[in-house]
Amino acid sequence: MIKHILQSTLALSLIFSSACAQSKNTAETVKEQPGVEELKLPRVDLNSLKKNKKGAYILFDGSSLNGWRGYNKENVPSKWIIEDGALKFSKNPGVANPEGGDIVFAYDFKNFELEFEWKISEAGNSGVFVLAKEIKGQPIYISSPEYQILDNEKHPDAKMGVDGNRKSASLYDMIPAKPQNAKPVGEWNSSKIVVKGNTVQHYQNGVKVVEYTIRTKEWTDLLQASKFSKEKWPVAFELLNNVGGATKSGLIGFQDHGDDVWYRNITVKVLK
């Protein structure tokens, strides 16, 4: 298969803009946590993107990564390549000193429908993030809920957590996807994440498999029962408990978990 190593085209597609200021209360919360600094990195002009027939913005057209960059970076890491019209994380991209890391689309979405297709390698693991903030020196999942991407049959995460809450399409380590209808390794799955106000829904292969409400007592309870609890990881707890921050918006991201994974047909429909 023909591989095209991605080159950063952000100089043409991105414009610098200041991130929205946090409210006084949110800022005070962040300052109480040592080492927490939200980075102000390039953002995309959404009007520069094409739309499909459904009125959704096309985030990946199968030929370029305009508008994408690494999390906490201004370039596209070289382990993210385009292969046969799909966005692929390749652990062996065939270049010297390859660079890895999670990748984000550089626009802060608030209410939206994200649709994408994915397939995973044998025993592979990845994830999709929404409402993420770029926190200096911290991983993307410190501030973002994760839609799990997994080989449920052979990756050990499938047997960890509680009640299958680390299997594909689950809200990672918090809510299991039910029914669990992921397709076998090597086959394409269709997925959708809907964020509307405080409500978030996960779909997998045409079925709604998870629904939850953020910024509520129920959300706080979920965090407290997970690896992101206040006692286990106080910085993550504070950021996730107020997911999206003062603007209630954030980045969409795809995870480098060290395993080959493919994504395609990535679109976002902005909701009011």
Q: Residue 34: its pLDDT value, please?
A: 57
- Which CA distances in Å does 47 have to 57, 70, 270? 9, 22, 12
Q: Is the separation of the CB atoms in 257 and 156 below 8 Å?
A: no
**In the predicted model, is pLDDT for residue 12 greater than 60?**
no
**In the predicted model, is pLDDT for residue 231 greater than 60?**
yes
**In the predicted model, is pLDDT for residue 8 greater than 90?**
no
pTM: 0.87
Report residue 62's pLDDT band, with 50, 70 and 90 as the boundaries.
Answer: very high
| Span of 32-41, 177-186, 230-239 with lowest mean pLDDT | 32-41
Report residue 91's pLDDT band, with 50, 70 and 90 as the boundaries.
Answer: very high
Half-sphere exposure of 208 (CA within 13 A, CB side): 5
Structural tokens at position 78: 């070289």
> Which letter, b or e, does each residue of 21-52 get, where b requires 16 or more Cβ atoms within 10 Å of its Cβ?
ebeeebeebbeeeeebebeebebbeeeebeee
CA gap 166, 87 in Å, rounded = 23
**In the predicted model, is pLDDT for residue 189 greater than 90?**
yes
CA gap 236, 238 in Å, rounded = 6
At position 105, the amino acid (one-letter code) is F
CA 61 to mean position of chain CA atoms: 18
Q: Could you read off the pLDDT of 203-229 as tens digits, one per residue?
A: 999 999 999 999 999 999 999 999 999
Report residue 36's pLDDT band, with 50, 70 and 90 as the boundaries.
Answer: confident
Question: Mean per-residue pLDDT for 135-141?
Answer: 96
Structural tokens at position 191: 């997925």
Instruction: Sketch out the chain's domains with CATH numbers.
Output: 3-270 (2.60.120.560)
Q: Could you read off the pLDDT of 239-255 as tens digits, one per residue?
A: 999 999 999 999 999 99
